[in-house]
A = this chain, B = another copy of it.
Amino acid sequence: MKIAIFPGDGIGPEVTREAVRVLQAFDLPGMVLFEGDVGGAAYHRHGHPLPAETLEMARAADAVLFGAVGDPACDGLERHLRPEQAILGLRAELGLFANLRPATTFPGLEAMSALRPEIARAIDLLIVRELNGDVYFGDKGTRTLDDGRRQGWDMMAYAEDEVRRITHVAFRAARGRDRRLVSVDKANVLETSQLWRDVVNEVAADYPEVALEHMYVDNAAMQLVRDPGRFDVVVTGNLFGDILSDQASMCVGSIGLLASASLGERRTAHGTFGLYEPIHGSAPDIAGKGRANPMATILSAAMMLRHSFGREAEAVRIEAAVAKALAEGVRGADLGGDAGTEAVGDAVLERL
């Protein structure tokens, strides 16, 4: 059980510290933790947001626990040196193609959502976002056209195997949930989406027990506001997934509670190599004040135990402890309460 801890910027170090305490509480055999630099923190120390040492550390591990990256002090830097590039680099270099983002409204927290409580309460969905392809990783550049005009361009593309593997992840997830899958594309306009849709239909033949629906991305953005409770699992490409998963997180209202997993193809002894991180950002405004809510990072550690180490029992215990703490009124500042970072960590530990 080799776990690389990449705390990153802002509140990253504070929230990962609490998640590490929770992991250590289980006394798991052979658990080894090592820490690496990413993001602005790495840039300041090594001149690059994703130093070679960090990448090596990730490769040597079975899983990565990631805090957050984003540092206003890096705003003026060229794009490839900015903190966010660390996460794009890790996804690409480690082949983390499957991003799982569950969004659920925690009981009693409906009032945190901008949606009406009865609509927010019904949200229990999982977004499966492809992370290694699409317009993110295609060729791109700025050129001067024959007539002298500057043009910015980015190639959007998906090959069939890239679509196939993420679609399998999504169907398998749906099989373990409510057996409904919505695939989101823009097939009325994009060839990339038409291929996406064809491959999803092919793969669907392997999962007759799952109900498949195709939806255009503009309609999906509408339905996620109107009736998010209608969704079980959603699968989509990198760009649409970026937009829709953030939209869905916000519908829940308590983004400080949402975890994520980014899985690769490499198998570990009892699962799949993956990177785990909270959905929230580095929140530089409250960094170092001990006020950040570590629950999303703690829940990310639970996802790690489940997906990378086959430790379902421990994952469930963490999730139950967080739910219990919330039910008993433990509230970080993001939820209008006054429990600090360490106090929330303590509250979860006590209820494990």
Inter-subunit contact A159/B155 (CB<8 Å): no
For A161, give the chain B residue with the smallest CB separation: B149
Within 8 A of B (CB), among A237-251: 239-240, 242-247, 249-251
Q: Which residues on the B side are within 8 Å of A161 (C-beta)?
A: 149
Task: Flag whether A270 is at the interface (Cβ < 8 A).
Answer: no
Say whether chain A's binding surface is mostly helix, strand, loop, or mixed: helix
Inter-subunit contact B244/A195 (CB<8 Å): no
**In-complex Cβ contact of A217 among B140, B218, B243, B249 (8 A):** B243
For A244, give the chain B residue with the smallest CB separation: B221
| 0/1 interface trace, chain A 39-52, chain B, CB 8 Å (1 if under) | 00000000000000
CA A154 to CA B196, docked complex, whole Å: 12
For A189, give the chain B residue with the smallest CB separation: B136
| 0/1 interface trace, chain A 94-125, chain B, CB 8 Å (1 if under) | 00000000000000000000111001000000
Q: Which residues on the B side are within 8 Å of A249 (C-beta)?
A: 222
For A190, give the chain B residue with the smallest CB separation: B154
Within 8 A of B (CB), among A174-198: 186, 188-196
Task: Tell me the smallest distance from the CB of A296 to a CB of chain B, in Å.
Answer: 15
Inter-subunit contact A155/B153 (CB<8 Å): yes
Given known A-B contacts A84-B188, A149-B161, A153-B157, A222 and B194 have beta carbons under 8 A apart: no
CA A194 to CA B142, docked complex, whole Å: 9
Q: Which residues on the B side are within 8 Å of A135 (C-beta)?
A: 135, 156, 189-190
Within 8 A of B (CB), among A134-156: 135-136, 138, 140-142, 145, 149-156
Task: Flag whether A267 is at the interface (Cβ < 8 A).
Answer: no
Task: Flag whether A219 is at the interface (Cβ < 8 A).
Answer: yes
CA A247 to CA B159, docked complex, whole Å: 29
**In-complex Cβ contact of A243 among B79, B119, B136, B218 (8 A):** B218
CA A116 to CA B118, docked complex, whole Å: 10
**In-complex Cβ contact of A191 among B140, B222, B247 (8 A):** B140
26 interchain pairs, CB-CB under 8 A: A82-B188, A114-B115, A114-B226, A114-B227, A116-B116, A135-B189, A135-B190, A136-B189, A142-B191, A149-B159, A150-B195, A151-B157, A152-B158, A152-B190, A152-B191, A153-B157, A154-B156, A155-B155, A218-B243, A218-B245, A218-B246, A221-B221, A221-B243, A222-B249, A224-B247, A225-B251
Binding site for B on A (CB under 8 A): 79, 82, 84, 88, 114-116, 119, 135-136, 138, 140-142, 145, 149-161, 186, 188-196, 217-219, 221-222, 224-227, 239-240, 242-247, 249-251
